[in-house]
Amino acid sequence: MSRVTVIGAGNVGTIAGMSLAASGRFDEVVLVDNAGGRAAGIALDITHSGPLLGFSTRVRGERTVAEAGASEYVIITAGRARTPGMGRADLVGVNAAIVGDLAAQVAQVSPGAVIVVVTNPVDEMTQHVQAVTGFPTERVIGMAGLLDSARFRALTALEAKVTNEEVSAIALGSHGDEMVLPLSQATIDGRPILDVLDADTVDGLVDRARNSGGEVVGLLGNGSAFVAPGTSAARMVLDMAGGFGRSAVAGETISATVAPSGQYGIDGGYVGLPVRLGPTGVAEIVELDLSDDELTQLRSAAAAIAERVSAM
């Protein structure tokens, strides 16, 4: 039986669980949350939507990782989310304890799983999960770049009055201030982005994408973005599991937080890079032809993450 487990049935976990259930790719989607009947309640609610959305995936809610059972893929969203005035880094202490404990349980229950880490600060949490589980780095991947890329593409499509499909771009580096959006790789309808939009407009779009998480936090007033984040996490799992939806392309290069071994001149640690995912995690770190300036920005992002990890 194929099973995916989503740990943390909060806002992000609910959307991820819903997307995975609706994909029909797995026999069972299990939500895990230690808050009372939350996971069971969300699981039942998602189950009720099956006849409406046309899926029959079994959706179960549990309080512990052990009750979920062995899974091929595990998404970790458990932990605190940002509230207005908080940066992602403010979450590091509390979330490292939660995520570390859960990761150790996942290693026991699902020793062969691929783990997608969502909990913030995601760059640091991904490295923490890899260290706690001892899994090969290919099987511990952070979700950030796919979301940041989608944010930039959506904002650019609105600005240029084109469809999302006509905008191609990839966000690398860190999830936050050190997000790197290489304009050498960004196109609108196949043309270099700077041939279509002026430089000031593009700079504004990059800044807005970089700060989109904070923009949503400010608007919500309570909690942080969850629709695009939950969708992104599910999409990464579906890319690996072959449950490709309408917008996914098999073997497509996407951005994810992964551990380079020399690619882009970066060795060790975790940072957002272009990858191709396969059934057992990272199949390949794709080496794009970046400009010298983009490479410098990427290496500084990796160095900044490494510094934060060593301070944890």
Ligand X SMILES: NC(=O)c1ccc[n+]([C@@H]2O[C@H](COP(=O)([O-])OP(=O)(O)OC[C@H]3O[C@@H](n4cnc5c(N)ncnc54)[C@H](O)[C@@H]3O)[C@@H](O)[C@H]2O)c1
Closest residue (Cβ) to ligand X? Answer: 10
> x/- string (CB under 6 A) for ligand X, residues 56-85?
---------------------xxxxxx---
Is residue 18 close enough to count as binding ligand X by CB under 6 A?
A: no
Is residue 206 close enough to count as binding ligand X by CB under 6 A?
A: no
123-162: which residues touch ligand X (CB under 6 A)? Answer: 143-144, 147
Q: Is 175 a catalytic residue?
A: yes
Q: Which of 11, 19, 71, 130 binds ligand X (CB under 6 A)?
A: 11
Alpha carbon distance 107, 112 (integer Å): 8
Minimum distance, C-beta of residue 291 to ligand X, in the bound complex (Å) = 26
Alpha carbon distance 177, 37 (integer Å): 37
Is residue 306 close enough to count as binding ligand X by CB under 6 A?
A: no
Neighbours of 137 (CB within 10 A): 18
Alpha carbon distance 278, 236 (integer Å): 10
Q: Are 137 and 188 in contact (CB under 8 A)?
A: no
Nearer to ligand X, 32 or 241 (CB): 32
- Residue type for 201, please? T
Give the H/E segment covering residue 23. helix 11-23
Which of 175, 230, 236, 271 is an active site residue? 175
DSSP string, 248-271: --TT--EEEEE--BSGGG-BSS-E
Q: Are 16 and 6 in contact (CB under 8 A)?
A: yes
Alpha helices in 174-226 (DSSP H): 193-196, 199-210, 212-220
Q: Which of 28, 33, 62, 294 binds ligand X (CB under 6 A)?
A: 33
Is residue 113 close enough to count as binding ligand X by CB under 6 A?
A: no
Q: Is 151 annotated as a binding residue?
A: yes
Minimum distance, C-beta of residue 197 to ligand X, in the bound complex (Å) = 25
- Which residues sit opposite 30 in a β-bridge? 5, 60
Alpha carbon distance 309, 92 (integer Å): 10
Alpha carbon distance 209, 110 (integer Å): 35
Is residue 176 close enough to count as binding ligand X by CB under 6 A?
A: no
> x/- string (CB under 6 A) for ligand X, residues 236-275?
----------------------------------------
Binding stretches for ligand X (CB under 6 A): 7-13, 32-35, 38, 77-82, 91, 95, 98, 102, 118-120, 122, 143-144, 147, 175, 223-226, 229
Which parts are annotated binding residues for substrate? 82, 88, 120, 151
**Catalytic positions:** 175
